[in-house]
Amino acid sequence: MSTTALELEAVTAGYGDNPIVREFSAHLEAGTITTLLGGNGAGKSTLLRAIYGTNRLFSGRILFKGKAIERLPPWERLRRGVGFVPQGRCNFPAMSVGENLKMGCYTLPGARHEAAIGRMTDLFPLLREKWRTEAGNMSGGEQQILEMAMVLLLGPSLLLLDEPSLGLSPRMQGDVFAMVQRIAATGVTVLIVEQNVRGALLISDRALVMEQGRRFMEGSAAEVRTDPRIRQAYLGGNIKETAA
């Protein structure tokens, strides 16, 4: 029996006095990958930030594992299992990879740091090789892996990813999508905003489409990627059944 990991009820969110996402409702089943689609300025990143709690929620409810989290600060949502990797480079560039991973353990008791970091360096051996390298001196793809590892250290059950393949080579993009699939296979629910729509839909179970801050469409990833409106708007009119 499937269980709901995240439920959004009429979420209106934005920055300052400007709501960008309006009355957005959706629910995500546990252990699935959902792609959030929409044009520039549709409110995709704003919605992810609202779920993590780093922007202003005007109204609506956010239920995580059945419990309301909309009034909690980001660190409390993180403690409860909501992980968020924002768009762009989101690490500490003047710190080494090792120090970045230690910062990823910030909310864990000291006794659990070594084991948590060990799990991540086993999963991503690159991080062990680059342990002393300053994060800002690594390639975009390497930094993306580091950022995911910093969030995965805490074992989140919901992972919000904002443009994880942005600025990466096609090969690195494929690696990132494969990594997202591996993470989801462990039971983590993933909500992903991605500029490579084709690649994201191919690894997703479901898709949500936003237009001007509102929900425009929802369905299985297969339904959405064969919808003529979506093909026209986001997929250049055709789609090949191979990962990007």
Contacts to other proteins by CB under 8 A: 52, 54, 73-75, 78-79, 84-86, 89-95, 99, 102-104, 106-107, 110, 147, 150-151, 154
* Closest distance of CB 29 from other proteins, Å: 25
Q: Residues 172, 145: contact at Cβ < 8 Å?
A: no
Task: Using the minimum distance from each CB to other proteins, give the nearer residue, 19 or 81.
Answer: 81
Residue 25's SS3 state is strand
Task: Using the minimum distance from each CB to other proteins, give the nearer residue, 80 or 231.
Answer: 80
Task: Using the minimum distance from each CB to other proteins, give the nearer residue, 105 or 179.
Answer: 105
Chain CA centroid to CA 142, Å: 17
Ramachandran assignment for 22, one of left (phi > 0), alpha (psi -120 to 50 degrees), beta (any other):
beta
Task: Using the minimum distance from each CB to other proteins, give the nearer residue, 54 or 59.
Answer: 54
* Closest distance of CB 35 from other proteins, Å: 21
Residue 202's SS3 state is helix
* Closest distance of CB 151 from other proteins, Å: 6
Q: State how far the alpha carbon of 192 is from the alpha carbons of 96, 100, 218, 231, in Å.
A: 27, 23, 14, 19
* Closest distance of CB 74 from other proteins, Å: 5
Task: Using the minimum distance from each CB to other proteins, give the nearer residue, 50 or 197.
Answer: 50
* Closest distance of CB 107 from other proteins, Å: 4
Ramachandran assignment for 139, one of left (phi > 0), alpha (psi -120 to 50 degrees), beta (any other):
beta
185 burial type by CB count under 10 A (0-12 exposed, 13-18 middle, 19+ buried): exposed
